[in-house]
Structure formats: C-alpha cells, structure tokens
Amino acid sequence: MTLGLLGQYVMNGVMLGMMYALVAVGFTLFFGVLDIIQFSHGDVLAFGAFVALAVWAALVKLGLVSPAIQLVLVVVVSALATAAVGALVARFVVLPLKGAPSLNVLLVTLMMGTVLREAIRLFYPGGSQPQRFPALLPTTGYDLGGFNLRLDNLILLAAGALLIAGTHLFITRTRLGLAIRAVAQDEETARTMGIDFRAVVLFTFGLGSALAAFAGAMDGLYYNEVYFGMGLLLGVIGFAAAIIGGLGNLYGAVIGGFLFAALQTIGAVALPFASAYKDVFAFAVVIALMAVRPTGLIGERASERV
Amino acid sequence: MNRWRGAAVAAALAVACAVYAWAFLRAESQQALAILVLVAVAAGAVATRTRVFDKVPPVPERLAQAFALVAVAGLCLALREDDFSLLLVARVLIVVLACLGLHIQLGHAGILNFAGASFFGVGGYTAAVLTRSTGLPHLLVLVAGGAMAVLIGTLIVVPVLRTRGHYAALITIAFALLFRTFLEVNDSLGGPQGLKLREIRIGPWRFNDPVELGPFAGSFYLNYLALLLVLLAIFWIVIQRLERSWIGIDLDAVRLDETAAATFGIEIARWKILAFTLGNFLAGVAGAVSAHMVGFIAPNNYSFGESLVLVSILLLGGVGNPWGVALASAIVVILPEKLQVLQEYRFLLYAGMVVLILIFRPVGLLPRRMRRLASSP
Amino acid sequence: MRSMFAALCTVLGLASSAGAKDTVRIAFVGPLTGGNSAIGLGGRNSADLAVKLRNQDGKAKYQYDLVVLDDECKPDAGVQVATKAGSDRTIVAGVTHYCSVVAMATVDTYHRFGLPVVVWGAVLPDITYANDFKEVHRVNGTMINQNETNAKFVTERGYKRVAVIHDTTDYGKGHDKYFTQFLTKDGGKVLIDLGVTADQQDFTAELTQIKAQNPEVLYFGGLTPIGVRIRAQMDKLGLNAQFDGTSGIVNDDFIKALGPLAEGVLAFREGAPAEKLPHGKKFLEDYGKQGYTNPPEAYGPFAYAAAQLIMDAIEKVGPDRKKIAAELRKTKDVDTIVGKVTFDDHGQNTVPVITKYVVQDGKWVLWEDSEYASGKRKLRGK
C-alpha cells in the first residue's frame, strides 16, 4: 500500500463523507424542527439532481454554453425548485399528520420518497436508465505520485464545507434561525411568542430540501451520472449518519457522515473482496452500534413525554 | 335466530367474493376489468356509507374462516385448467402468509419490520441450499426455512428491542439493504445469478406434476395451493388464538403504551421477542414455499422495495385485521397483473395509495374491530 | 337477444370475434426498461417488424400477435414474465432475452411449461450447452468467438499488460474466463482480475487497485450501465489504459452517456452489422418505413430472424408448442436475414463473423473503416 494509493483512498472517503454529511444535516434539521424523520430526503436529493440535469439541457438548447453560467443557473434553479417541492410535501403531507402517531409520519414520508423516485423513473424521458450529468467544473488534475488530485473534487469539497458552515451560521446568527431553534426546542412556547409555526416549518423543509438539491448536484458532478435510484441508499446512509451523530445535533450529523464514509473505506481496503462487502460491513457496524447505544454516539437531545 | 342470519350473510359474502374473483381472473379485455373494478369500488363505498355490516350480528371466527377456506378452494377448482390464474391465487396466498407474519409484529407488538422481504428471502435461500445439498424431506425443509428466518432475526433482535420508533426503523431498513447486498456478493449462495430449486415432493406426491385424479384433471399449481391453504388455515387459527389469549392482550398493551405496560409488570422484552420471532417464522415458511413454486430465487426478489410493498399491504388493509391483510394482498398482487396499464406504474400507485390512506383513512380498508373483552354471543 | 348476448360476450372478452384467420400469439421478452433498454427496444421493434410484415402477407395461414414482456435485465423479473408466458396457453412460442443472466435463469421455466423459445441476444454458452432442453434454441452466437478475436486483436496490436474487470454474474464471469484463456494463449498477461456487482455505483476502490498495476489495457466484461461508470471513473482517477469491451457495450446509449470519453473505445461482437448482412439493406428499409423511435441496434436483426423462424415453424405445423419445438430443432441451412441458420443438437446456431468496433467521433465504426486502423489516430498507449 503506497502512500499515493492510501492518499487516493482517503480522498475518495472524504468526498463520500462530504456528501453523506450534507444529507445527514438535512435529516437533523427536519428532526430538530418537527421531531420527524423525513424519509424522502434521499429521493428529494435525486429529484434535485434531475431538475439540475433538466435545467442544464434547457440551457444548452437556449444556447448558453459557458460552464460557469450553466453551473450557477443549474444549481440555483434546482435548489429553488427542490425547496418548493419540499415545502409542498411539508404543507400537504407532513403537517396534516402532525397529531398522528410518529409511525404514520415515518411511513408517509417513506412512501412519498417512493412516489418521487418512481415519478422520476416513469416521467423523466429515459428515466429508468442512468443519465449522463455534464462535467461543469474544471477537470484539471495534479498527479502527486500515484495519487490524482482533481480540481473539481477540491471545489466540491470546499462548496460542501461552506454550505454546512453557512447553514450553521444561519441557524445560530439570524432571526429566522432563532425562530427555527425556538420551534425546535418548544413548539407551544414559540407559538405563544408570536412565531408563525407553519411558516417556520415550511421554510425549514424548503431549506433542507435546497441542501439536498446541492448534494444531488454534487453527486451528479462527482460521478458524472445521475439515476433515479440514487437517493435511496444515500438517504438511508444519511439517516444512519444523523443518528450516529445524534439527531438534532448539526455537527454530530457531519461527524456521522464522515464516520460512515470512513467505515466504508476501511471495509473496501481491509476486506478481501475489494468493495463488494463494504456496504454490508458499514451497515452491520451501524446496527451493532445501535444495539450498544440506542440513541447514537452523541445522544439525542430530547425527552419523552410519558 | 340471529346467529343463523349472521352465518347466512357471511356465506353469501364468501360466495360473492369467490364469484367476483373468478370473473376478475378470467376476464381478458381491459374494458371488462375496468368495469369490474368500478363495481367493487362502488360496492365498497355503498357498504361503508350505509354501514350495512355493522347491522349484521357478529359471526363466530371459526365459521368465517371455514367459509373463506371453502370459497377459495371452490375458486381454485373452478379455475383448475388455468395455469396463470392459479399462479396468481397462489402468489396471493403466499403474500398473505408472509404479511400475517408482519401483521403479528406490527399489529400486535408495534414493531415495524422493514426487512420482511429479507426474512422471506432467508426462507427461500434455506430451502434452496437444503434441497440442493441434502436429502431432507421437503416438509422439514419448509420448517427449516422458518427456523432459519428466526435465527437470522435473533441477530438484530437486540437492537430492535433497545430502540423505538425511527431508530428501530433504521435497524430493519439497514438490515434489509445489508441482506440483499450480502446475497449479491456472496457466490456460495449463487450471487446475482441466483439459485434454482426443484419442486416440492412429499413421498410419492410430486408437486410439479399436473393433477390427475380419475376424471379430474388440473394444473400442477393446485398442489401448491392445497399446501398453502393448509398452512394458512393453521397459522390463521394460531393468530386468532393468540389474539384472544392473554398473550394477545399483553402484546396489545405493549404496542399501545410501553411505559404503562411496564408499570403493570408486563415483560416488554419477552413479548416483543415472541412477536418478532413468530412473525419471522411465518415469513420464512412463506419464502420457502414460494421459492419451490417459482423454482428460482435471486437477490433482487428480496430487496428493500419488496419489503416496502409488504408494509404497504399491511397499511392498506388495516393494521390489526387479518382479513384486511388478505384483501390488500389480493389487490396488490392481482390488480397490476390484469390491468396492464397499471403494471409499469404499480410501485408509484402502491406508495401513492398508502400516502392517501395514511392522510385520509389511517385505519386502512378493513379496520380492526375494538377488542371486546366481555364474552359475546 | 342472441346477438346482444354475443355482443356482451365480445365486450367482456369472453369470446373471440369471428375472423378469417386464427390468431396465434408469440411472446417477445427483452429489457425494455433500465440500462439496456436501447437494445431491448431495438429487438422488440425488429420482432414487431417481422410480425407486421408476415401479417401483411396474404399467403400466411395465421394472424400473428406479438405479446411484449419486459424482463428488466433482472433474473427475478425474467422468471416472472417467463412464468407468465409459459402458463398462458395461448402463447405458443417466444423470442427471448438479451441479458444472459436472465436467459440462464429462465431456461428451466420454459422447459417446465414446454414453451419453445429462440434466444436473440444472450451470449453465454451455458444457455444452450448446459442443458438438454428441447425447447431452447439460439440464433445469435456465443461469447467464445468474440473473446477469441478480442484477445488476438489485443496481442496483435502489441499490448501485453491487461487488467480485467468484470461483473459477477455468469455473463461477466463467462467473459472473464474465455478472454483470460485466449489472452494467455496468445502471450498476453492478466495483471489483475476484479469482479464487481452489476449495479455497482462506485468503482474507485477497484480502479485505484488497477491503476497501481499500471496496465496498458483495461478489459471490461459486462453491460453498458456499469461500463459507462467504469470508463468515466477511470478518467477521474487518471487511469490512462485503453478500454476494451465486449458485445455488452455495443449500443448508442454507451456513447451517449459518455460523450467525448467514449472516443477510442474498442468492442467486439458476433454477427456482421446490419448493412453488411445478406438481406440487411431491405431490413433497414422496412424498419425505417415503420417509423420506430429506436434503431434496431446490434441485435435487432437476430430478433427479426428468430421471429421469422418461429412463424415459419408455426405455418408448417400449426400452433402447438411441442410440434413447434420439434420443428425448430430441425432447422438446417435456413436462409434468414442474418444468413444461414442451423441449430445443432443443443439448438445453437453458429455465427462465424466477428465484427470489430471502435468509437470514432461519437459513433461505433468498423475497425477496418476507422482512422485508427489507417494510422491517422492512435489507440491509448501506442
């Protein structure tokens, strides 16, 4: 195992970790605000990626070929559209079920995810096949002795880190962020303080979905491919990562994401069949972890009403 | 006199359902099928609105089960030459068996098992491995399929016990994904190519041979159907007994409020383990029978998506009511096969229907009757 | 009253309307959705063309109806539709499968129901040779010849160090086995041999290992969906080997998905391209007239030929499964659009021609006609 090879594995792991972290942050946001698990988050990510692809195709038709402009427009439009979809799901599917047993909300969002996934497969032209996602970032690579460092990967990493930091700052430093944290802590009191509960929920869903859209675009840019099922595994991994880090804790979610990626990378390197068993290994560890610490490594900041 | 009235209504209902099923399975044109669907929907709407079934005196469970059994057997005999229709009926029965297992876990103990298809798969793969490498009698193989499912279930029972709600959901979801990936990369279990199985053989009775009893001739699927009806009858009675016993009441208490149940001295862990184990056993046995009948299994049959379909059936039918499970299974299995236009959209439709049901009618199609602890005539 | 009843029966589909000829139903099974759908749809259109042309022929004794079934290139879905076709007594024969994984899984099902089938695109030898079923035939060739030509070509070009990546289905493993066998015979060396799952997303682990070995050629034994991913991720990791594939990637979707990255990719398949077939020009003309959205792709002509052979058999012996199977087995030197077809004792046809392809400017071009052959462009590492 040369240093260059090791470096390559580390790089791959870091990229995966960043994507999982972005998804996990979304889960944590939704849970913090509404005490629910938005199981369709992964499929919202896939939706965002496909919207990005569609926007790009439209831009090409319109004649705009500069990659920089394409990139900005694609990301912005996709984020807005996905935020809208997220808010709609919140308004018509999640909020009406507010009083219902938490199992119902879990199931409803899980099924919504399936609806989104199948909708992409059936209604996007050629949706059942993997679609090529354009390479909009500069692809120059620097060969550091057996280890290929690419500019686009670095940009993606930086963008992801900025997004997470930005979200954290938003939540902690702005008035709207304050409202979100108030609702997360105690919904009734927040309402008596004059905070519009509904608006906060819709906004949070929009924000989380926009983050998912970014993650989807990142995924597309990294693999140069999107396909309708890409959200399912990412969603489950993001959820697992959020749980490991402790639901409701933003930085816990980030740690959880990188931890899961580390597990997968270790599995890929250490186990005999290259990457075949890495998912089995990673999930098995997660299950074992849950047996030992049922509410995650850092623990959920919540109490239960008896 | 009331009892006879109730029995008569139940018998009439059973016959009506059997005739409807026969017509639905035999219909060829899409228009005919569309008409039949509308008839069913209209009948259901009328029945709900007029609450006609509330006015009927309650029928003893045994009698209802007997009627249902006879109706299904009659349906199979009427369809005896039609391979494809019998195959559909057999698939429905298998799904009902597996979902009854999940129903025990969810409806009685509140454990939502997102890995139902995985335990189904354990049964299938156990059957495949045992019949390929050993000479074990096939009935024992079916039992072994269930036992293996129970064994594999113990791997995750500790985390399932210690967690609740969404945490428990994550465990079964992670297990479902893990299981399929494991099957796909593991060459000793056939890998992505899957495994082929022989037919079931009990003594001289070979299940893949067409039935020929004197003048009576029928498709070989009748053999599997006979086995499935026997299995269903046994397990349905087991479930019904369970529900009426102290065990059932304990399980209900655990499901409704774990903390309260604990304060009453009910051992949560024991009953949850029992429910989980029994449910997995059923799923395993169903998987073993299915594997033999189709003759082929592959990792893709047992994906997370398939588990979601099983969960959808539970929710559509009405959690806690085995008749609801049967109805929903029939709808989910048969409808897309006959209505070609639905075939491609079926996952979208199942998921969409579940969303609508959860928002507008969370109790499902056939909600569970409230438990009457006092004895009733 | 009687006519009303008859009309009612017709509406309910319980009785067939009176017609001049009896309708005979033939099944077509292929991957109509998923990553290989381009080939599946091409095959379906070609079989459909054959049926349509036969129905237009006044001399035909029967009216033919093509029942189209989607196997999604997954063995479980394949067995399900095979069971459906087999248990439906009105279907008398089938034109089946492009994906070898599916074809391997379904042979037992067809045998159980006695449904005669002619395979049109699956290349795994075991499909016909690992069993003695009278029902199974195949009109296209097996992967043995294409890998033999592939290995010879690679060594003749001066490549010696080859890395192999293949999918873990019997299809990928078959390619691996035969290619490695022929390559080592021709003097090449397989540096590393890795298996990946057929729906794998991330190949960085495998490609990183391969890169460490510094191969000249990367041989890929698998289908388009992961072929696309491997080629794209190769580029991301800076692995500059020559990409060498099999019949599994010869379709337009492969090029469409990769864009400029597809340039210079090699592939081999059995059978001549449609234009060079004995009746190829007429086939393409007729195909064009029908206005299908998808082109026939590499295996369309085989599907057409399979449908033709089946319908010829039905015309001779009538719509009886057993008789059709026996009649098909007797096929010897029958002229079809892919040339003369003879089924050996295992129902296998021999296709002598192997076509070499290279991607040039976004198209699959015959090697002999390409600028790579003439020397104007160079393959990787040369």
* C2 pLDDT more than 60: no
CB contact at 8 A, B179 and B119: no
Query: What six digits make up the tokens of A209?
Result: 């979905």
Each residue of B352-366: pLDDT tens digit? 888 888 888 777 677
DSSP-derived 3-state class of residue B205: strand
Given pLDDT bands bounded at 50, 70 and 90, which one contains residue C4?
low
The answer to whether B107 and B313 are in contact (CB under 8 A) is no
Residue of B nearest to C110 (CA): B295
- Cross-chain CB nearest to C236 (options A150, A275, A276): A150
* Residue B352 exposed, middle or buried by CB count within 10 Å (0-12, 13-18, 19+): middle
Tell me what the mean pLDDT of segment C363-381 comes to. 87
B167–A294 C-beta distance less than 8 A = yes
Cβ–Cβ of C195/A273 closer than 8 Å? yes
Three-state DSSP string of chain C: CHHHHHHHHHHCCCCCCCCCCCEEEEEEEECCCCCCHHHHHHHHHHHHHHHHHHHHCCCCCCEEEEEEEECCCCHHHHHHHHHHHHHCCCEEEEEECCCHHHHHHHHHHHHHHCCCEEECCCCCCHHHHCCCCCCEEECCCCHHHHHHHHHHHHHHCCCCEEEEEEECCHHHHHHHHHHHHHHHHCCCEEEEEEEECCCCCCCHHHHHHHHHHCCCEEEEECCHHHHHHHHHHHHHHCCCCEEECCHHHCCHHHHHHHHHHHCCCEEEEECCCHHHCCCHHHHHHHHHHHCCCCCCCCCHHHHHHHHHHHHHHHHHHCCCHHHHHHHHHCCCCEEECCEEECCCCCCECCCCCEEEEEEECCEEEEHHHCHHHHCCCCCCCC
Label residue C14 by pLDDT band (50, 70, 90).
Answer: very low
| Residue C340, beta-bridge partner list | C335
CA distance A43 to A119: 10
**Structure-block tokens of residue C367:** 């090697």
Question: Is the pLDDT reported for residue C261 higher than 60?
Answer: yes
Average pLDDT, chain A: 84
CB contact under 8 A, C79 and B187: no
What's the gap in Å between the CA of A275 and the closest CA on chain C?
A: 6
Contact B193 C105 (CB under 8 A): yes
Q: Which among B220, B374, B216, B202 has a CA at the least distance from the CA of B294?
A: B220
* CA of residue C333 relative to chain centroid, distance: 22
> Which of chain A's residues have a Cβ under 8 Å away from the Cβ of B181?
277, 279-280
Output the DSSP codes for A248-290: T-HHHHHHHHHHHHHHHHHHHHHSSSTTTTHHHHHHHHHHHHH
CB contact under 8 A, B163 and A233: no
Residue of C nearest to B83 (CA): C87
Task: Give pLDDT tens digits for A141-180.
Answer: 777 766 677 888 888 889 889 988 998 888 888 888 888 8
Q: Do C198 and B192 touch (CB under 8 A)?
A: yes
The residue among A38, A89, A108, A228 with the most chain B CBs within 10 A of its CB, best to mutate, is A108
Average pLDDT over residues C148-156: 92
pLDDT band at A133 (very low <50, low <70, confident <90, very high): confident
Residues written for chain A: 306
- Which chains, if any, share at least 3 CB pairs under 8 A with chain C? A, B
Q: Which of B87, B181, B296 sits opposite C105 (nearest CB)?
A: B296
Which phi and psi angles does C242 have, rounded to 5°?
-75, 130
**pLDDT, average across residues B90-110:** 89
Please check whether residue B170 touches A, CB under 8 A.
yes
Contact B348 A119 (CB under 8 A): yes
Distance from CA of A178 to the nearest CA of B (A): 26
Nearest to B170 among A112, A233, A243 (CB): A243
Q: Do B194 and C75 touch (CB under 8 A)?
A: yes
Residue B260 binned pLDDT confidence (cut-offs 50, 70, 90):
confident
For residue A233, the distance in angstroms to the closest alpha carbon of chain C comes to 11
Kindly state the DSSP code that residue A95 receives in the 8-state scheme: G
Q: Which of A27-36, B186-195, C20-29, C173-182 has the highest mean pLDDT?
A: C173-182
Alpha-carbon distance B39 to C120, whole Å?
43
A149 is written with which tokens?
């460092």
Q: Which two tokens stand for residue C60?
A: 């035909």
Under an 8 A CB cutoff, do C168 and B185 touch? Answer: yes
Smallest CA–CA distance from C70 into chain B, residue: B344
For residues C356 and C272, give the distance between their C-alpha atoms in angstroms, rounded to a whole number: 9
Residues 6+ positions from C54 with CB-CB distance below 8 Å: C60, C64, C308, C311
Test the C interface: residue of A8, A16, A152, A227 with most C CBs within 10 Å: A8
Residues A112, B351: C-beta atoms closer than 8 Å: yes
pLDDT tier at C92 (50, 70, 90 boundaries)? very high
Q: Which residues contact B89 (CB under 8 A, 6 or more apart)?
A: B21, B25, B72, B75, B76, B79, B221, B225
Asked whether the beta carbons of residue A291 and residue B358 sit closer than 8 angstroms, the reply is: no
Q: Flag whether residue B31 sits within 8 Å of chain A, measured between CB atoms.
A: no
Q: Which of B28, B193, B297 sits opposite C101 (nearest CB)?
A: B193
Task: Give the residues across from A149 on adjacent strands.
Answer: A142
Distance from CA of A280 to the nearest CA of B (A): 5
Q: How confident is the model at residue A1 (pLDDT cuts 50, 70, 90)?
A: low
C212 class by beta-carbon count within 10 Å (0-12 exposed, 13-18 middle, 19+ buried): middle
Query: Mean of the pLDDT values across residues C88-101?
Result: 92
Chain A residues with CB under 8 Å of B315 CB are 107
The model's confidence at residue B52, banded by pLDDT at 50, 70 and 90, is low
C198 in B contact zone (CB under 8 Å)? yes
Residue contact B185–C198, C-beta within 8 A: no
Residue A84's pLDDT is what? Answer: 93
pLDDT band at C16 (very low <50, low <70, confident <90, very high): very low
Model confidence at B1, pLDDT cuts 50, 70, 90, reads low
DSSP-H helix ranges across A35-135: 41-62, 67-89, 102-123
Residues of chain C neighbouring A132 (CB-CB closer than 8 A): 228, 256-259
CA distance B326 to chain A (A): 20
Best residue in C71, C231, C236 to probe A by mutation, most A CBs within 10 Å? C236
How would residue C12 be classed by pLDDT, with cut points 50, 70 and 90? very low
Mean pLDDT score of chain C: 87
* A145–chain B nearest CA distance, Å: 33
Dist. CA C317–CA C320, nearest whole Å: 7
Instruction: From B344, B355, B289, B267, select the one nearest B92 (Cα to Cα).
Output: B289
User: What local confidence, expressed as pLDDT, does residue B372 receive?
Assistant: 54
Does residue A5 contact residue C212 with C-beta atoms inside 8 Å? yes
Mean per-residue pLDDT over chain B, rounded: 83
Q: Which of C76, C167, C175, C321 to substitute to test the interface with B, most B CBs within 10 Å?
A: C76
| pLDDT over threshold 90, residue C47 | yes
Question: What are residue C67's phi and psi, to 5 degrees?
Answer: -95, 115
What is the tens place of the pLDDT at every residue in C295-347?
A: 888 899 999 999 999 999 999 998 999 999 999 998 888 888 888 889 988 88
Residues of B in contact with A108 (CB under 8 A): 354-355, 358-359
**What pLDDT digit, counting tens, does each position of C176-217 carry?**
999 999 999 999 999 999 988 887 888 888 888 898 889 999
Residue A306 clears pLDDT 60, i.e. is over it? no
pLDDT category at A44 given cuts 50, 70, 90 is: very high
C355 bridge partner residues: C269
Contact (CB, 8 A) for B251 and B62: no
Evaluate the CA torsion angle A48, A49, A50, A56 in order and state its sign.
positive
Maximum CA pair distance of chain A? 62
Q: Token pair for residue C64?
A: 């033919």
d(CA C363, CA C255): 7
Residue B348 to residue A115, Cβ atoms within 8 A? yes
Tokens of C306: 């399979």
Amino acid at B130: L
At residue A102, the pLDDT reads 72
Which pLDDT score, from 0 to 100, does residue C10 have?
46
How far apart are the C-alpha atoms of B353 and B343, rounded to whole Å? 15
* Distance of alpha carbon B227 from alpha carbon C279, whole angstroms: 54
pLDDT tens digits for range B132-189: 888 888 888 999 999 999 999 998 888 888 777 778 888 899 899 889 888 888 878 8
- CA distance to B198, B228, C100, C131, per residue, from B128 (Å): 8, 18, 22, 20
Q: Is B46 exposed, middle or buried (0-12, 13-18, 19+ CB in 10 A)?
A: exposed
Contact B178 A37 (CB under 8 A): no
Kindly tell me if the per-residue pLDDT of C117 is higher than 90. yes
- Distance of alpha carbon A144 from alpha carbon A139, whole angstroms: 15
Whether A34 and A102 have beta carbons less than 8 Å apart is answered as no
Number of CB pairs, chain A paired with chain B, less than 8 A apart: 110
> How far is it between the farthest Cα atoms of chain B?
64
Mean pLDDT of B231-240: 87
> Which sign does the torsion angle of CA C41, C45, C50, C56 carry?
positive
